[in-house]
């Protein structure tokens, strides 16, 4: 049984490395830091590796100061969390070849089962839910720090309990984390109510220039180099702005085109029925049925014209 | 014991009226509709009265079509939910004088205990949490409709589990409601991701014209008659826009001034330390320490000047 093998491997290991994916999000960061503290409680020699920078917004999470970029180290056990495939670890992937044992903890349906022990629960709304269970099964007491780390993972990966993946177990976990000291007020203020003025100005500008097409079914947004300059923002500030378009009552597809050097970065979101993965493929991109993207050489105007032309038949039905 | 008296009164009553406050919100509407179904299951003759219109966004909630405006009716028992004082019932307040028995179910600390039986739990994050418990204690089985009604109340009154009032019990309730058929995806799409294009345009305009003062500690926003005209919006569309200002990382106070005939409607929000109730009182208004408002005769420019002058000393410390 995988679970028993995992527990035995953790109990036997002296030196453990924990990794999560590049472009780390709240769930990945919450998992590795919670596991760091938990393994410390088991008196293990632990390191956390992430082959990327930690976003400003997550630096309040306990033990994020312990995260280092991959380097050459010899450990008994590697625990990879929230990585659907090993490439998502970036350079930390190298560790996989070197360790005698590895554990892959994840909730993505696309997981490639790359470790010696794979514990993938696709019903879990976040990897933090799985790590929560693992910590419980190992008999490690929750404390305020572990609770805070895991709560960050739970709320970010469920869109604060709004995504359909949220189950009654998600709420059970959240309740237990609050009982163990996770502060709802503090964490939601830091993560969800803490926007930069510059980004807000960019949002205002994008909304102001937004256009609706095809009877309001398509929301079109764009950000030019000039928009970045005028609002003193950069590419990373674009994140999630597309949701303002998707959240309009009449809209089925939201399009966001962003000017980047000689390229156009496109993002597509759909609400109910349009397969935007198929649309993104027309531009050499891809993703999911309801969220996809592409990067294509050209001008915003050319891409806009082509994409509206393609979308026409999708929403005209 | 109040609880036993309440249960006895409900069991004995044949005709029951349920009311909630004017300007009904998700919690008030969720409570009265859940109670309507629950009382029906006990084979009571039930009516729901709200002395106001039901906002468009809540009309999907089961049994909102059963809600009528107050009229002259003779009942054995009145159940008022989520009303801090009897004036909040509007004309439905008249029923209080006529009924032999009344129950006041609420979670507001300012509750004036106006009924013959008062069940006020200020630790509850929503009145829906209290109604949930009452339904359980009465031995009424939850069903999908009751779950949906109460889930709407729980998520709206806790800012979708983000306010500090959210407890582990809140999550326990939410989990149980999901288990009984409340759809996370459906309800969050309707309530939280369903904005009118016109309102979004108003938001874009307000953000575009937003100004920061006092080293970024104060966000100032205004909406003129012209803004309403240009975006084809009205006063009710202003709701919650002030949060865009409050959510800026550097901001302690957000101000929103709205032009309405010869008056200025002011709203104030603070994040951590400024008492905006005190500030609103200077303009004849009031409210809470972190959220207050006022209505004053004059021009936006005059009010703006006066309020920035008053605030100066609050944020200069």
41-60 in chain B: CB under 8 A from chain A? none
CA of residue B264 relative to chain centroid, distance: 23
In the A/B pair of chains, how many CB contacts fall below 8 A? 132
CATH number 3.30.450.40 given to A197-315: no
**Residues of B (71-90) whose Cβ lies below 8 Å from A:** none
Q: Which of A160, A171, A220 to mutate to test the interface with B (most CBs of B within 10 A)?
A: A171
Mutate to test the interface with B, among A142, A180, A193 (most CBs of B within 10 A): A193
CA distance A66 to B105: 49
CA–CA separation, B227 and B191 (whole Å): 25
A32-84 confidence digits (pLDDT tens)? 999 999 999 999 999 999 999 999 889 999 999 999 998 778 999 999 999 99
Distance between start and end Cα atoms, chain B = 50
Task: State residue A317's pLDDT score.
Answer: 55
Residue A296: pLDDT above 70?
Answer: yes
Give the pLDDT score at A206. Answer: 96
Provide the 3-class DSSP secondary structure of residue A268.
strand
Residues B183-188 have a mean pLDDT of 94
Which pLDDT band holds residue B23 (cuts at 50, 70, 90)?
confident
The answer to whether the beta carbons of residues A282 and A259 sit under 8 Å apart is no
Report residue A16 as tokens: 């453990």
Chain B contact for A272 (CB, 8 A cutoff): no
User: B87-116, pLDDT tens digit by residue?
Assistant: 999 999 999 999 999 999 999 988 999 999
A216 vs B contacts (CB less than 8 Å): 197
**How does residue A239 score in pLDDT terms, banded at 50, 70 and 90?**
confident
**Percentage of chain A modeled with pLDDT above 90:** 85
Q: Identify the weakest region by mean pLDDT among A220-229, B12-21, B232-241.
A: B232-241
Any CB–CB contact under 8 A between B113 and chain A? no
Chain B CB contacts of A162 below 8 Å? 160, 184, 188, 192-193
pLDDT tens for A6-16 read 999 999 999 99
* CATH classification for the domain delimited by B2-192, as one of 3.40.50.300, 3.10.180.10, 3.90.1640.10, 3.40.1280.10: 3.90.1640.10
Q: How far is A190 from chain B (nearest CA, A)?
A: 9
The answer, for B156 touching chain A at a CB cutoff of 8 Å, is no
Least CA distance to B177: which residue of chain A? A168
pLDDT at res. A289: 85
**Closest chain B residue to A177, measured at CA:** B168
Where exactly are the structural domains of chain A?
2-191, 197-315
CATH 3.60.20.10 holds for A2-191: no
- pLDDT (mean) for A9-25: 96
Give the least confident one: A191-200, A257-266, B308-317.
B308-317
**pLDDT score recorded for residue B317:** 55
Task: Supply the pLDDT for residue A110.
Answer: 86
- Tens of pLDDT along A153-202? 999 999 999 988 999 999 999 999 999 999 999 999 899 889 999 999 99
pLDDT of residue A315: 86
Q: How far, in Å, CA of A136 to CA of A147, rounded?
A: 12
A306 φ, ψ (degrees, to nearest 5): -65, -45
Strands A211-213 and A218-223: antiparallel
Could you give the ipTM of this predicted complex?
0.88
Q: What is the pLDDT of residue A240?
A: 87
Q: Which of B178, B206, B207 sits opposite A167 (nearest CB)?
A: B178
Count of residues making up chain B: 317
Nearest chain A residue to B211, by CA: A197
Contact across the interface for B246 and A193, Cβ inside 8 Å = yes
Q: What value does the CA radius of gyration of chain A take, rounded to a whole number of Å?
A: 21
Predicted confidence (pLDDT) at residue B316 exceeds the cutoff of 80: no
Distance from CA of B166 to the nearest CA of A (A): 7
Beta carbons of A266 and A303 less than 8 angstroms apart: yes
- pLDDT of B193-249, one tens digit each? 899 999 999 999 999 999 999 999 999 999 999 999 999 999 889 988 999 999 999
Residue A23 pLDDT exceeds 90:
no
pLDDT > 70? residue B69? yes
């Amino acid at each position: 049984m995988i679970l028993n093998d995992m527990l035995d491997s953790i109990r036997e290991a002296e030196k453990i490395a924990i990794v999560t994916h590049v472009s780390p999000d709240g769930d990945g960061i919450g998992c590795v830091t919670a596991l760091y503290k938990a393994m410390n409680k088991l008196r293990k020699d632990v390191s956390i590796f992430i082959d990327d920078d930690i976003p400003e917004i997550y630096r309040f999470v306990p033990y994020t100061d312990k995260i280092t970029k991959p380097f050459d180290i010899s450990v008994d056990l590697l625990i990879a969390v929230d990585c659907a495939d090993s490439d998502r670890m970036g350079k930390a992937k190298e560790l996989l070849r070197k360790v005698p044992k590895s554990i892959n903890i994840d909730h993505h349906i696309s997981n490639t089962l790359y470790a010696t022990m794979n514990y993938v629960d696709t019903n879990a709304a976040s990897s933090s839910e799985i790590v929560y269970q693992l910590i419980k099964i190992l008999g490690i007491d929750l404390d305020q720090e572990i609770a805070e780390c895991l709560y960050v993972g739970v709320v970010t990966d469920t869109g604060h309990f709004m995504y359909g993946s949220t189950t009654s177990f998600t709420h059970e976990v959240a309740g237990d984390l609050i009982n163990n000291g996770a502060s709802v007020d503090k964490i939601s203020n830091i993560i969800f109510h803490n926007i930069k003025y510059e980004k807000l100005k960019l949002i205002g500008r994008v909304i102001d220039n937004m256009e609706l097409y095809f009877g309001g079914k398509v929301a079109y947004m764009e950000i030019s180099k000039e928009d970045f300059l005028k609002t003193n923002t950069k590419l990373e500030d674009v994140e999630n702005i597309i949701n303002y378009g998707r959240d309009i009552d009449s809209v089925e597809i939201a399009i966001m085109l962003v000017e980047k050097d000689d390229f156009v970065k496109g993002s597509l979101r759909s609400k109910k029925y349009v397969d935007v993965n198929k649309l993104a493929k027309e531009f050499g991109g891809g993703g999911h049925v309801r969220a996809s993207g592409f990067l294509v050489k050209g001008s915003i105007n050319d891409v806009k014209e082509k994409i509206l032309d393609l979308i026409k038949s999708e929403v005209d039905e």
